[in-house]
């Protein structure tokens, strides 16, 4: 019923062939304009084939996916609160995802991965409701979507060396900042959830989620599942992340500085070397000329004596 009403609201009064369509796969429904039809099929096939998330029971709630044909329509559908760099937004309370279609730029990422990230938000909310802080919500979605490439940002982040690691609470604030700081916050949140899952090699996050749901306390869930306080885990995550990526960031910066030095000083070095070679050649030529003159003078002197 909700998707039918939505289709009616999206319908264009201009041309019948531009009217939005609908596609159903399992618990997923997509609404889209004709330009996004192939993408809608691909996304729903992928979502239905891989509909489980780390540590969570299989989701049951129906999901509505709205594929925007252009950025203007995307902004209209998500509202003014969405960040400018976002290419997809999940609305957990309505089990709805709004996503840019084929018009999304290359920076938007792989559409299949983007959708899985948003579906992880919905699955987490279905099991835990509003219990999760922003850093865990984003970190889990990134972890579930396999976005390991985010950690490349940490290897180039000198803030880990000079400013130190933020707290988990400070991570939440980073998501509200500009794209650069938000990107680092996503990467650090991903690392935090991955670090938590690594504490139990056999069950990962499953036992932790069960405790969190029953106690409704993140700290008590961490204590019960992993034998650590939340503060101890936070310190472990900060130290291990800084040790693992801080050195890489410093090495990358030193390497970049060295390369920059070569680029800047290289022309000066070769220019000086060329001048030295020219001066040496002039000195050799002068010596040769002096020796020739001396020999000529010697022959002239010998002839005069004769």
The CATH number of the domain holding residue 64 is 3.30.2010.30
Check whether residue 157 and residue 239 sit in a common domain.
Answer: yes
Asked if 168 contacts 134 with a C-beta cutoff of 8 angstroms, the reply is: no
Domain interval for residue 21: 1-130
Which DSSP state fits 17?
G
In the numeric block, which tokens belong to residue 85? Answer: 């760099």
Domain contains 288? no
> What tokens were used for 53?
């998330």
- Asked, for residue 182, whether it belongs to a domain, the answer is yes
Q: Which residues pair with 22 in a beta bridge?
A: 31
Residue 92 domain-assigned (yes or no): yes
DSSP-assigned states of every residue in 24-64: EETTEEEEE-GGGHHHHHHHHHHHHHT---TTSPPP-S-EE
Q: How many residues does the chain have?
A: 306
Partner residues linked to 228 by β-bridges? none
Q: Which residues of the chain are modeled with pLDDT < 70?
A: 1-18, 81, 84-85, 105-107, 151-164, 177-180, 246-306
- Using an 8 Å Cβ cutoff, are 122 and 90 in contact? yes
The whole-model pTM stands at: 0.75
Which pLDDT score, from 0 to 100, does residue 265 have?
Answer: 46
Nearest Cα residue to 124 out of 64, 222, 213, 234: 213
CA distance 205 to 226: 10
Burial 57-95 (b: 16+ CB within 10 A, else e): eebeeebbbbbbbeeebbbebbeeeeeeebbbbbbbeeb
106 with 138, same domain: the answer is no
Based on the domain organization, do 198 and 226 belong to the same domain?
A: yes
| Residue 117 shares a structural domain with residue 32 | yes
Helix ranges (DSSP H) in the chain: 2-10, 37-49, 71-78, 111-128, 134-144, 159-162, 168-174, 179-198, 206-215, 218-226, 230-241, 247-305
pLDDT for 87 equals: 83
Residues 6+ apart with CB under 8 A from 7: 20, 22, 31
Q: What is the pLDDT of residue 262?
A: 42
What's the confidence (pLDDT) of residue 150? Answer: 73
Q: At which of 250, 282, 299 does a domain end?
A: 250
Q: Within this chain, do residues 123 and 137 fall inside the same structural domain, yes or no?
A: no
Tell whether 87 and 200 lie within a shared domain.
no
Q: Of 109, 130, 151, which residue constitutes the final position of a domain? A: 130
> How many domains would you assign to the chain?
2
Residues 182 and 107 in one domain: no
21 domain-assigned: yes
What is the Cα–Cα distance from 240 to 62, expressed in whole angstroms? Answer: 39
Establish if 267 belongs to a structural domain.
no
C-alpha Rg value of the chain to the nearest Å: 32
Domain closes at, from 95, 130, 165: 130
- pLDDT tens profile 175-192: 876 666 777 888 899 999
pLDDT confidence of residue 173: 82
pLDDT of residue 165: 81
Per the domain annotation, does 306 fall within a domain?
Answer: no
137 and 169 part of one domain: yes
Asked if residue 159 and residue 107 are part of one domain, the reply reads no
């Amino acid at each position: 019923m909700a998707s039918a009403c939505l289709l009616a609201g999206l319908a264009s009064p201009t041309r019948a062939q531009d009217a939005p369509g609908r596609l159903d796969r399992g618990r997923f429904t997509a609404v889209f304009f004709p330009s996004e039809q192939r993408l809608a099929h691909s996304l729903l096939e992928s979502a239905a084939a891989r509909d489980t998330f780390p540590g969570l029971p299989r989701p049951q709630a129906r999901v509505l996916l709205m594929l925007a044909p252009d950025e203007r329509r995307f902004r209209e559908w998500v509202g003014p609160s969405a960040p400018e760099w976002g290419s997809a937004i999940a609305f957990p309370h309505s089990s709805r995802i709004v996503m840019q279609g084929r018009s999304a730029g290359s920076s938007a990422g792989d559409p299949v991965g983007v959708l899985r990230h948003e579906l992880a938000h919905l699955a987490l909310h279905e099991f835990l409701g509003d219990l999760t802080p922003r850093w865990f919500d984003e970190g889990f979605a990134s972890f579930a979507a396999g976005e390991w490439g985010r950690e490349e940002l940490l290897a180039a982040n000198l803030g880990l060396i000079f400013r130190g690691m933020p707290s988990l609470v400070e991570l939440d604030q980073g998501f509200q900042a500009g794209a650069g700081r938000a990107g680092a916050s996503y990467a650090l949140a991903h690392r935090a959830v991955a670090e938590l899952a690594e504490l139990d090699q056999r069950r990962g996050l499953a036992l932790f989620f069960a405790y969190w749901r029953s106690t409704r306390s993140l700290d008590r869930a961490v204590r019960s599942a992993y034998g650590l306080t939340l503060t101890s885990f936070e310190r472990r995550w900060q130290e291990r992340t800084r040790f693992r990526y801080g050195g890489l960031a410093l090495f990358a910066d030193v390497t970049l500085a060295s390369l920059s030095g070569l680029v800047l000083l290289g022309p000066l070095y070769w220019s000086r070397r060329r001048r030295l070679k020219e001066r040496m050649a002039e000195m050799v030529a002068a010596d040769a000329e002096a020796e020739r003159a001396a020999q000529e003078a010697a022959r002239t002197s010998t002839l005069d004596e004769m």
